[in-house]
A and B are shown apart, each in its own frame.
Chain A
Amino acid sequence: MAEEKVSSTGEEDSQVVNPWEVTAKDGDKIDYDKLIEQFGCQRLGADLVQRVERLTGRPAHVFLRRGVFFAHRDFDEILDLYERGEKFYLYTGRGPSSEALHFGHLIPFMFTKYLQDAFKVPLVIQLTDDEKCMWKNISIEESKRLARENARDIIACGFDVTRTFIFSDFNYLGGKFYENMVKVANCVTFNKVVGIFGFTREDHIGKISFPPVQAVPSFPSSFPHLFADKNNKVNDNLRCLIPCAIDQDPYFRMTRDVAPRIGYQKPSLIESTFFPALQGENGKMSASDPNSAIYVTDSPKDIKNKVNRYAFSGGQDSIEKHRKLGANLEVDIPVKYLSFFLDDDAELEHIKEEYGSGRMLTGQVKARLIEVLSELVERHRRGRALVTDEMVDAFMAVRPLPFMFS
């Protein structure tokens, strides 16, 4: 079975993209074309977006239209089988490392909710509290607590409890899930994970043996309570689609490599770009700097303040210069953020036109962004207020979902 090809770069100063580190080359922007080439995945073209619209009978999600979700592996196969009347399920996840979620964290969830509604398919969400425990050196209790807290924000994104199973590794591992982990682990050498994830001999064995945990939710037999029939048989041909940020690609490259060897189907992927920090593409969104991102707990005043003071502007230094030269849309963060969250294509085009030509000022663009973000945060806040402990328990209960494909 041909392995997933990954071209080796060998250059010291090239960009680094893996689940634990994302750095551009030399303080530059991330080169996504190069990344696609390096990883060996496919670009998600306009034809696929149109096909999605046709098959789902509704406009494509703004993230698809704007190229936020821009790469894939075998997404066309998922569309093929869907067109034939077959089913698939969704799998996404979060490493619960902090209580505060910002918009960058929400992006895969907002998109996954759209996929769930548009295709009417079930979803499993993995909270890797064990991973964060190991990587961030927090206690097991704290990890588990953060997992539940994050689950509330995730639920607030609008997932359907009759189609969604949320689980945390500390709670769920065992049974068939663990059997699959062993199957996967048997197929991946130490050398391999060193190559894929950059592990060293100094890394503790918890980290080194973690990858199978994130791999096996791609296989329906890991969830017998969802996908097994009355005779306890699981249809191993049920395909899985994984929406994620592209830095997670290594996990699933490994998974796709292993899958056929253990008699399972390869999961398909649909991958997103990274969400830039307020200070610009070169800035880092970090938990230690609250001004680097907009958090779902920010008040309208916070949002206004952060955008006005910290959002990197591509506008010129003076109004005269700006009217003359227009804004640099490449580096302007407000326009970038609007391209993620402003649904109206025509309005966005108009803003880009006017701002790029200098007729619109930075202040106006920022004002519009503040409006859009405030509305999103408010909607999220309202939703989250309605998520009770019982609701989290219900989403996380190991229970069948009889209407998950309806």
Chain B
Amino acid sequence: MGFTKDQLLDRLKELQINFVCYDHPVVLTVEAQAKYVGHLGGLLSKNLLLKDKKHRYYVVSALANTNVDLKVLSQRLGLGKGGLRMAPEESLQEILQVPLGCVTPFALINESAGTVSFLLDQGFKSQECCFFHPLSNDATISLGSSGLEKFLTSLGRKPAYVDLEATPLVGKDNPPDLADFVPSGVPALSDSAEKAPPIQPPVVTQAPENVKSTSAGKASIKAKVQSGTTEKPKSTVNPLIEATDVEKVIEEIFAKFASAVQSENKQEEIETSLFDGVRKRITTDLQMQMMSFKNAAYSQGFQAGVEAVRIAMKNMSFRS
């Protein structure tokens, strides 16, 4: 059950965010919306729901006249040249729980949007009057950028502005500047009957103090998992955790291999069931092999560490 417009407005009032709500007939485009609120002198937004090849979603809220180039954005996110496209209509309902033409940052309040990344046009920064749909097409609310930031913070997200029109060169010496906006979390299970609450926020601690520990330099830790709050766009989780996740790595290798086979085989599409069958046959063996690899690498490192300490101790006693 997604949030309704009224529930959203109640929440904004709870959070003491000032807004003005304008009702109007249902609109599906920015132009149509402009007919009803364009004269009020605020900033209209165009909001896109995008999806990448790994089924990760992004909401982009831009000024109506900002040029959003999906190819450029895709590269800046580190998804390659054609990695980003408009999400299919079903996703609006499934992920954001809003109708067609109603993509809005406020949809992020829904648990199903927990792992959706949010890119906000820097054109909205420090603006008093920004227009967004409040989860339905028959109204528009106007609020200041500080109000929007407050809303995002209440969801556990860190408000971050992006220059959507910038076209930095992405290459070997210039890593994708928006790479941090790529979601890394477990996607919310799309079983509409029951919402599995978010599991395992990216916590990296030594002791599982389940409240207020502040390990310096590690990801900020939350004790209570609030609904709808999982991944923040800028995550400071140790990249090695994902890199040494055996199951994840095997999945990625297999996906890469399967896609390469498809590309090579120019004649016709290979049945996905073939890949599923192959995957079933070899996944366990590959996982075990990779676990052996991980354990071996760790053991070699451990040996090296023990030896290094031994040498250091010997040198110390030698000098004294």
Which A residues have a C-beta under 8 Å from some C-beta of B?
Answer: 54-55, 57, 82-87, 117, 120, 155, 158-162, 227-230, 233-235, 237-238, 379, 382-383, 386-388, 390-391, 393-395, 397, 399-400, 402-403, 405-406
Residues of B within 8 A of A388 (CB): 296, 299
Cβ of A171 to closest chain B Cβ, rounded Å: 16
Q: Which residue of B lies closest to A85 (CB)?
A: B225
Task: Offer 22 A-B interface pairs, CB within 8 angstroms, sorted by A.
Answer: A54-B194, A57-B196, A85-B201, A85-B223, A85-B225, A86-B210, A87-B208, A161-B299, A230-B206, A235-B207, A237-B210, A383-B292, A386-B292, A388-B296, A390-B302, A391-B296, A393-B299, A393-B302, A397-B302, A399-B302, A405-B200, A406-B203
Q: Does B197 contact A (CB under 8 A)?
A: yes
Contact (Cβ within 8 A) B200 A85: yes
Flag if A162 contacts B204 (CB, 8 Å).
no
Q: A86-B208, A391-B296 are in contact. List 8 more A-B contacts (CB 8 A).
A: A85-B200, A85-B223, A117-B246, A158-B288, A227-B207, A229-B209, A387-B295, A406-B203
The residues in B between 233 and 276 inclusive whose CB is less than 8 angstroms from any CB of A are 238, 240-241, 244, 246-247
Q: Are A117 and B247 in contact (CB under 8 A)?
A: yes
Tell me, rounded to whole Å, the shortest Cβ–Cβ distance linking B209 to chain A.
6
B294 CB contacts on chain A under 8 angstroms: 160-162
Question: Known contacts being A382-B288, A390-B303, A406-B241, is A228 close to B207, with CB within 8 Å?
Answer: yes
Which residues of chain A come closer than 8 Å to B192, judged between CB atoms? Answer: none
Bound complex: CA of A393 vs CA of B241, how far in Å? 23
B298 in contact (CB, < 8 A) = yes
B196 near A54: Cβ-Cβ < 8 Å: yes
Please give the distance in Å from B296's CB to the nearest CB on chain A: 6
Q: Quick one: closest B residue to A81, CB to CB?
A: B210
List residues of chain B with CB under 8 Å of any chain A CB: 186, 189, 191, 194, 196-210, 213, 222-225, 238, 240-241, 244, 246-247, 284-285, 287-289, 291-292, 294-296, 298-300, 302-303
A391 and B207 CA atoms in complex are apart in Å by 25
Bound-state Cα–Cα, A388 to B196, Å: 41
Known contacts A83-B197, A379-B285; is-contact A394 B207 (Cβ 8 Å): no
Taking a contact as CB atoms under 8 Å apart, the answer to whether A85 and B288 are in contact is: no
Q: Are B298 and A57 in contact (CB under 8 A)?
A: no
Asked if A402 and B244 sit within 8 Å, CB to CB, the answer is: no
Q: Closest CB of chain A to B112's CB: distance in Å?
A: 15
The answer to whether B186 and A161 have CB atoms under 8 Å apart is: no
Chain A residues with CB under 8 A of B302? 390, 393-394, 397, 399
Which of B189, B241, B292 has its CB near the most chain A CB atoms (within 10 A)?
B292
Cβ of A227 to closest chain B Cβ, rounded Å: 6
Complex contacts, B246 vs chain A, CB 8 Å: 117, 160
B189→A57 contact, CB < 8 A: yes
Q: Which of A83, A238, A391, A405 lies in contact with B295, CB distance below 8 A?
A: A391
How distant is the Cα of A158 from the Cα of B224 in the complex, in angstroms? Answer: 32
Q: Is the CB of B288 within 8 A of A391?
A: no
Q: How far is the CA of A399 from the CA of B299 in the complex (A)?
A: 12
Q: Which residues from chain A contact B225 at a C-beta distance below 8 Å? A: 84-85
Check if A85 sits within 8 Å of B299, measured CB to CB.
no
Name which residue of chain A comes closest to B189, CB basis. Answer: A57
List B contacts of A400 (CB < 8 A): 206
Q: A55-B196, A161-B299 are in contact. Are A234 and B207 (CB under 8 A)?
A: yes
A158-B288, A379-B284 known; A227-B208 Cβ under 8 A: yes
- Chain B hits for A379, CB < 8 A: 284-285, 288
Contacts of A238 in B (CB 8 A): 208
Q: How far is the CA of A339 from the CA of B284 in the complex (A)?
A: 18
Please measure, in the bound complex, the distance between the C-alpha atom of A161 and the C-alpha atom of B300, giving whole angstroms: 12
Rounded to whole angstroms, the CA-CA distance of A346 and B292 in the bound complex is 31
Q: Which 6 A-B pairs have the closest CB atoms?
A: A229-B207, A85-B225, A394-B299, A391-B299, A394-B302, A386-B292
Distance in angstroms from A87 CB to nearest chain B CB is 4
Task: Tell whether A383 pairs with B288 under 8 Å between CB atoms, given A83-B197, A393-B302, A400-B206.
Answer: yes
Within 8 Å CB of A397, what residues of B? 302
Residue of A nearest to B205 (CB): A405
* A396: min CB distance to chain B, Å: 11
Instruction: Contact check, B295 vs A87: say whether CB atoms are below 8 A apart.
Output: no
Residue of A155, A158, A382 most packed against chain B (CB within 10 A): A158
Within the complex, the shortest CB–CB distance from A198 to chain B, in Å, comes to 38
Are A160's CB and B241's CB within 8 A? Answer: no
Report the bound CA distance from A120 to B241 in whole Å: 11
Distance between Cα atoms of A393 and B299 in the complex (Å)? 8
Given contacts A160-B294, A379-B285, contact A229 B210 (CB under 8 A): no
Q: Are A87 and B207 in contact (CB under 8 A)?
A: no
Residues of chain A within 8 A (CB-CB) of B285 are 379
